[in-house]
Structure 1
Amino acid sequence: MATASGQPVRRRRTTARGAASAVSPVLTTLAVLAVLELLTRTDVLPRRYLPAPTTIVGELVRQLGDGDLWTALGQTLGGWLLGLAIAIAIGVPVGLALGGSDLLWSAFRPVVEFLRPIPSVALVPLAVLTLGTGLQSKLLLAVYAAVWPLLIQAVYGIRDVDPVARETARVYRVRGRDRFLRVTLPAVAPYLATGLRVSATTALILTVTAELIIGAPGLGQAVNVARQADNPPLVYALLVVVGLLGWGLNAVLARLERRLLRWHPGRREAAR
């Protein structure tokens, strides 16, 4: 009886906590915007360099009807998606190969540990000299930054496969393809999902950075043009677009990860 009556109470508490966690970020954001609006309208903050949030929103609404914004957004998204795809194609198989062999990992680990800390921005002069200021340079920076989280997570994931499960599959003479699909892939999948989210964010950051520094077409270049035209509201409006883009992509990947890995015990525990 106590258990039956307690379940609705726990369900209501869970629902209330979920509603509060969804509403509180919105209220906090609105409060911060209201404070900024007050400070800029009363000239506590210099309106010349920090326009009021309502001014930025108005500029953003105007830009939504301008085809140039959508063109720049498409160029940024296209560079990000292509760079991330190349990073996946390189990082995942190389990471699985290195992690699956103690000999290969011990041989190539010094190379990985040497190259991985090098900031992608340090490659800007090389990219400009060899590839110019177009899409290729943007891809070089994005791929170089995004490939390492995927590669390292693939290495750690395959090295974390349960040796008992691996040996059991080998003893029962499970074919190599089935052994990979039924034993290795389920163990590696959570690591790859984490690496994908980190790499996706990193690739977007470096894509916009390349557009800002190199001048490759995209949102970063549009920000530079607005800065040179001395148009702070447009600069901030474009930065809002970049921020919303990053937030949206991360939210989509997180939701996709929860759906695809809902079978994983760790994900079920986190959900509870």
Structure 2
Amino acid sequence: MIGARALRGAAGVAGFLAAGELVIRFGLGADLVFPPPSAVLAGAVSLLADGGFLAGAAATLTNWALGLLTAIAVAVPAGVLLGALPPVERAVMPVLEFLRPIPSVAIIPLAILLIPVDELMKVSVIVYAAVWPILINTLYGMHDVDPLAKDSLRSFGFGAAAVLARVSLPSAAPFIATGVRIAAGVALVLAVSAELLAGGAAGIGVYVLQASGGNRTDLIMAATLWAGVFGVLANLALLAGERRLFRWHRVRAGALAS
């Protein structure tokens, strides 16, 4: 089943690349300078031997990981606290709903002015962007906890902390994992966006800026391709972890749906 799905996906990607190659080489005017997929793929392979790009990719992924881990450390306890204390959640939610729709990219210029340390500034904007999916999904998970399970544990004399640890957190964990997976993609977008706007010593975004200065559209697209590959790999790894750790949740969800 998984093999057939992977084959169909590979066939779709190959078809898309072939169509793009034909359209760019034969369907577009000569005035439009855009590299065909074959040139982009060749450039992506060449970047594996480019020390400057590899150092930049390592810097981007380091900022991404630091920002995502910090967002998890902030958002999960905050979401659990708000979900466990409804009066506090009602008091805080208007502020959160005001801040959440603000585009994360829009705060990068402000962060550049307020945070003089380059790496700290980039990690900070990643944290701001990644906090929201984790926080909201944690809240949803806390709201989805079966009240009967909590009441049953209380009837046996367990306190609030025990109910939280034994019922609420395990029940909310799949929602939290989904929030982390969504936040991972958002964090990578902000990691590259911050480099594009703020520059710096190294990074995928910095490499794209340098390639654009030399009109190397093939290298711009190749570096962008690698950013996408990193995002796909992170999503697949987190998705595999979800399926392995929370198989019981998928079974339960399937039973409820049927």
Same fold by TM-score, threshold 0.5 exceeded?
A: yes
The structure-2 alpha-carbon separation of the partners of 1:40 and 1:160, relative to structure 1 and needing over 3 Å to count, comes to: closer
Q: CA deviation at 1:19?
A: 4.0
Q: Deviations over 1:138-184 (max 9, x none)?
A: 11211111101111111221122111111211121235554333211
Q: Which residue does 2:125 correspond to in 1?
A: 141
Once residues 180 and 97 of structure 1 are traced to their aligned partners in structure 2, the CA distance between those partners, rounded to angstroms, is 10
Within a 5 Å distance, the mapping from 1:138-177 to structure 2 comes to 138-174=122-158
- What amino acid sits opposite 2:88 in the alignment? L
Provide structure 2 residue ranges, at least 5 long, that are not aligned to the other structure: none
2:57 counterpart of 1:73: yes
Q: 1:90 aligns with which of 74, 78, 84?
A: 74
Whether contact under 8 Å (1:72, 1:219) holds in the other structure is yes
Once residues 99 and 82 of structure 1 are traced to their aligned partners in structure 2, the CA distance between those partners, rounded to angstroms, is 26
2:181 counterpart of 1:200: no
Q: Which residue does 2:237 correspond to in 1?
A: 252
**Deviating more after overlay: 205-214 vs 126-135:** 126-135
- What amino acid sits opposite 2:57 in the alignment? L
- What amino acid sits opposite 2:85 in the alignment? S
After the TM superposition, list the runs of 4 or more consecutive aligned residues in structure 1 that deviate by more than 4 angstroms.
Answer: 45-48, 175-178, 267-270
2:168 counterpart of 1:184: yes
2:10 counterpart of 1:30: no
Please say which structure displays the higher CA radius of gyration: 1
Q: Which residue does 1:8 correspond to in 2?
A: none
Whether contact under 8 Å (1:146, 1:199) holds in the other structure is yes
Q: Deviations over 1:170-225 (max 9, x none)?
A: 12123555433321122101110111111111111111111111114310111111
Q: CA deviation at 1:258?
A: 0.4
Whether contact under 8 Å (1:149, 1:195) holds in the other structure is yes
Once residues 98 and 45 of structure 1 are traced to their aligned partners in structure 2, the CA distance between those partners, rounded to angstroms, is 57
CA RMSD of aligned residues (A): 2.1
Once residues 182 and 165 of structure 1 are traced to their aligned partners in structure 2, the CA distance between those partners, rounded to angstroms, is 10
**Deviating more after overlay: 247-256 vs 166-175:** 166-175
Q: Which residue does 2:216 correspond to in 1?
A: 231
Sequence identity (%): 38
The alignment partner of 1:118 has SS state of: coil
Whether contact under 8 Å (1:197, 1:250) holds in the other structure is yes
The structure-2 alpha-carbon separation of the partners of 1:75 and 1:165, relative to structure 1 and needing over 3 Å to count, comes to: same
Once residues 203 and 245 of structure 1 are traced to their aligned partners in structure 2, the CA distance between those partners, rounded to angstroms, is 12
The structure-2 alpha-carbon separation of the partners of 1:136 and 1:90, relative to structure 1 and needing over 3 Å to count, comes to: same
Once residues 89 and 195 of structure 1 are traced to their aligned partners in structure 2, the CA distance between those partners, rounded to angstroms, is 13
Q: Which residue does 2:225 correspond to in 1?
A: 240
2:200 counterpart of 1:210: no
Q: CA deviation at 1:56?
A: 1.6
Q: CA deviation at 1:72?
A: 0.8
**Deviating more after overlay: 89-98 vs 215-224:** 215-224
Q: Which residue does 1:221 correspond to in 2?
A: 206
User: Would you say how many aligned residue pairs link Structure 1 and Structure 2?
Assistant: 255
The alignment partner of 1:49 has SS state of: coil
Once residues 220 and 63 of structure 2 are traced to their aligned partners in structure 1, the CA distance between those partners, rounded to angstroms, is 21
TM-score by length of 2: 0.91
2:84 counterpart of 1:100: yes
The alignment partner of 2:4 has SS state of: helix
**Deviating more after overlay: 133-142 vs 197-206:** 133-142
**Which fold has the larger relative contact order, with Cα–Cα distance below 8 Å and residues 6 or more apart in sequence?**
2
Q: CA deviation at 1:47?
A: 8.0
